[in-house]
Amino acid sequence: MPAGSFGGQYVWHPAADDRRLARACIDVKAGRYLGAERALRETRADFGTRAHRSLVLASEAADSDLAERWLAEEPGPESALLWARVAMLRALRADDAGARHAGTLLGIAEGACERAARLNPRDPTPWVVHLALARIRRPRDPAPTGLLTAPPGPWPLLARVLRLDPWNREAHHRFLAFFFARYGGTASARWDVAAFLSNRAPVSSALRLLPLVALAEEYDPSSLLAHRAWRRPQWVATALHGHRHWLPEVPRYRFTPVLDLSYLAHALYMSRQETEARDVLTAMGPYAARMPWSAFGEPSDQLTRARRTLGLPVPAG
């Protein structure tokens, strides 16, 4: 279903309107890797799509032996990347659960990243995976000049990714997440990093939305009037900037950037910019992401409430 239309139900799957990826996910669920190989091979020069597809495919493969089997049967850049992604997800899940074997899984994942990087040195995605894993080891490398709080963190890893792909979306989001409170970060560092990364991005980049991600992450439902934070002038300006400068770029994407659109739509809705919020939700069509709506309750209910308020179609029943 094309973005911009609404068929009466939300589509939550992260493949959204990337048909090649959606078919590959079905193959992976069935224990086949040929579709994944095709989906990844054609993205060797498109790092944003490669990162997105490899992460979605890994989420489908993480609970099976497909990645290990593919790497053993057909070792190459694509199978090595999927294995690195799967190993990353397993390590992060184990660490989040406090599992005793988390350290072992972390070592396996780091080794898988290094292998994938050797097989395709121009691909930044293995280093993005390394960056995602950094929240487990918590490196404290010094920050570059230009940050008020100079928060230590995995700055050399970020720099390595950006040498290969200066505006890599996932790398910026993974780096910001390193400073989330749930991973041991602080509010001052989180705001400083979000501002630093967004301000250096091109005017029309989705990276300009990073402060809205930090804002949603900081939301505390027990705090009095916390929901009014989105109405402060700086966040209204950030959301309107995204609507004015980034939203027109969305039709040029190979797939609908659902998560970025979701953060923008939510911020515009919360700041009562109804016309602009309606534009963004219309651009999303039926595709939906759980964040940031899930911070406020059941995501489907929250999204439906917003769409109904804005006069947009909602799922029947």
* pLDDT tens digit sequence for 63-95: 999 999 999 999 999 999 999 999 999 999 999
Percentage of the chain exceeding pLDDT 90: 93
Provide the pLDDT for residue 317.
Answer: 62
Q: Where are the beta strands (DSSP E) in 32-126?
A: none
Residue 251 confidence (pLDDT) above 90: yes
Cα dihedral: 270, 221, 59, 113 (round 10): 100
Provide the pLDDT for residue 4.
Answer: 56
Q: Cα–Cα distance between 276 and 268 in angstroms, integer? A: 7
The owner of tokens 């009466």 is 8
Question: Identity (one letter) of the amino acid at 239?
Answer: A
Cα dihedral: 266, 191, 181, 62 (round 10): 60
The packing angle between helices 77-96 and 125-137, to 10°, is 20
Can you tell me the mean pLDDT for 137-160? 95
Residue 146 confidence (pLDDT) above 90: no
| Prior bond of 166 cis (ω within 30°) | no
Q: Cα–Cα distance between 308 and 191 in angstroms, integer? A: 32
Of 4-13, 117-126, 169-178, least confident by mean pLDDT is 4-13
pLDDT in tens, 90-99: 999 999 999 9
**Nearest partner of 24 among 35, 33, 14, judged by Cα:** 35
| Average pLDDT in the chain | 95
Q: Cα–Cα distance between 171 and 130 in angstroms, integer? A: 10
pTM, two decimal places: 0.95
Q: Cα–Cα distance between 202 and 127 in angstroms, integer? A: 22
pLDDT in tens, 186-203: 999 999 999 999 999 999
Residue 108 confidence (pLDDT) above 50: yes
Percentage of the chain exceeding pLDDT 70: 98
C-alpha torsion sign, points 301, 305, 306, 307: positive
Q: Cα–Cα distance between 50 and 34 in angstroms, integer? A: 16
Provide the pLDDT for residue 1.
Answer: 46
Provide the pLDDT for residue 2.
Answer: 46
Using the CB atoms, write b or e for 96-118: b if 16+ within 10 Å.
eeeeeebeebbebbbebbebbbe
Q: Cα–Cα distance between 184 and 169 in angstroms, integer? A: 22
Q: Cα–Cα distance between 18 and 2 in angstroms, integer? A: 10
Q: Cα–Cα distance between 113 and 125 in angstroms, integer? A: 9
Can you tell me the mean pLDDT for 2-23? 86
Q: Cα–Cα distance between 71 and 94 in angstroms, integer? A: 22
